Amino acid sequence: MSKPQTIAFIGAGNMASAIIGGMIENGFKAENIWVSAPDDSHLQSLRKRFGVSVTTDNRHCAQQADMIVLAVKPQVMRQVCQDIAPVVQNTRPLMVSIAAGLECATLDNWLGGGLPVVRVMPNTPSLVGKGSAGLYATDDVEQAQRDAVSAIFESIGVAVWVEQEDLLHAVTALSGSGPAYFFLMLEALEDAAVANGLEAATARKLAIQTMAGAAEMAGRGPDEPAQLKRNVMSPGGTTEQAIRTFEDGGLRELVTKASTAAYSRSGEMARELAKDDE
Ligand SMILES: NC(=O)C1=CN([C@@H]2O[C@H](COP(=O)(O)OP(=O)(O)OC[C@H]3O[C@@H](n4cnc5c(N)ncnc54)[C@H](OP(=O)(O)O)[C@@H]3O)[C@@H](O)[C@H]2O)C=CC1
Ligand SMILES: O=C(O)[C@@H]1CCC=N1
């Protein structure tokens, strides 16, 4: 299975739309994609936008596929898995979960046991082909199945396998939640620029391009971020004042605290969901 024949998405929200949109933009065929969710109006808008097949019946959706992407909130995952378990125990597809903090063992148990499971922590920039995903596979997953999942997530950004499931908590705190951190930074920079007299539209345009340009430079290397930062800081100049203000205000500690809060919440969710399984 280097490329699955048919992929079923259960859940049609932000992440499913982002992944499907990215896949289609990158050459995956809409006719090979099925999507299910309770609200038919959400499904119809996905069908119109991407040309995928849709159904409100999760079992019907699951029946179609040799790879099933579970893209519902962790809190409804148990009910969804138990609903499709009779189907997947028969068809034995590769199960791919993108739910935050839900461990493979818990998921497999809800699905009736013995299925190959891949856990992915993607992020919303997948919609524009700039996603970052961390992936973990259980021992039952064959190399060809890993390759098939890599192909999807590499078509919409970068995909990195981790060899210990626990590391997905760290991935969640970095790239899963990360886009929101940068959107917050954009909002703050834009507000500050407006306070300094720029028009909002101008401030947004410059802030976005500054963020994108800085990311591009950091990605290309070879200079470390610290050196790139020093290159902007002319002695006695403006940047020095701003960076000193960030450092004195405890920005690094705050970033560590915020990331640790996301990391801890991911672990806590895993424990809550596993407990729910007892
Ligand atoms: N948002 C993000 O940045 C990220 C999210 N994730 C994970 O992705 C998963 C989905 O999150 P997100 O897309 O943001 O959530 P959304 O709320 O946007 O989407 C959830 C989807 O699940 C559907 N749904 C609800 N109940 C059922 C059901 N019983 N059967 C089938 N579908 C159902 C909803 O249906 P309807 O459309 O009818 O309301 C909706 O389409 C979560 O597990 C989250 O942890 C992972 C990484 C990043
Ligand atoms: O906030 C959340 O729980 C999900 C997981 C990572 C991004 N959004």
Q: How far, in Å, is the centroid of ligand 2 from the Cα of 228?
A: 30
Atom of ligand 2 lying closest to residue 74 CA: 3
Q: Which domain does 219 fall in, by range? A: 178-262
Residue closest via CA to ligand 1's atom 23 equals 11
Torsion from C-alpha of 121, 124, 125, 130, nearest 10 degrees: 30
* Cα within 13 Å of Cα(28), Cβ side: 27
Same-domain status, 86 and 212: no
Residue 271 in any domain: the answer is no
pLDDT in tens, 121-174: 999 998 888 999 999 999 999 999 999 999 999 988 999 999 999 999 999 999
Ligand 1 atom closest to Cα of residue 42: 37
pLDDT at position 3: 53
pLDDT value of residue 128: 86
Task: Count how many residues are written for the chain.
Answer: 278
pLDDT at 25: 82
Q: Specify whether 143 is located in the same domain as 209.
A: no
Which pair of tokens denotes residue 167? 């590391």
Output the pTM of the full model.
0.92
pLDDT at 235 over 60: yes
Is 99 a residue whose pLDDT tops 90?
Answer: yes
Task: Please report whether residue 109 resides in a domain.
Answer: yes
Of 73, 132, 177, the residue with max ligand 2 atoms within 8 A of its CB, to mutate for a pocket test, comes to 177
Instruction: Report H helices in the chain.
Output: 14-25, 40-50, 58-63, 74-91, 104-110, 143-154, 167-171, 178-195, 200-220, 225-232, 238-248, 251-276
Confidence bin at 4 (pLDDT 50/70/90)? low
Q: Is the CB of 16 under 6 A from ligand 2?
A: no
pLDDT the model gives residue 278: 55
Lowest mean pLDDT among 100-104, 215-219, 237-241: 100-104
Residues 149 and 193 in one domain: no
- CATH assignment at residue 153: 3.40.50.720
Token pair in block for residue 86: 């009779």
Is ligand 2 within 6 A of the CB of residue 20?
no
Taking the centre of ligand 1 as the mean of its atom positions, its distance from the CA of residue 15, in whole angstroms, is 7
pLDDT higher than threshold 80 for residue 26? no
* Residue 277 to residue 211: CA distance in whole angstroms: 43
| ipTM summary value | 0.97
Question: Comparing 203 with 5, which gets the higher pLDDT?
Answer: 203
Q: How far is the CA of 158 from the centre of ligand 1 (A)?
A: 22
Q: Decide if pLDDT at 276 tops 70.
A: no
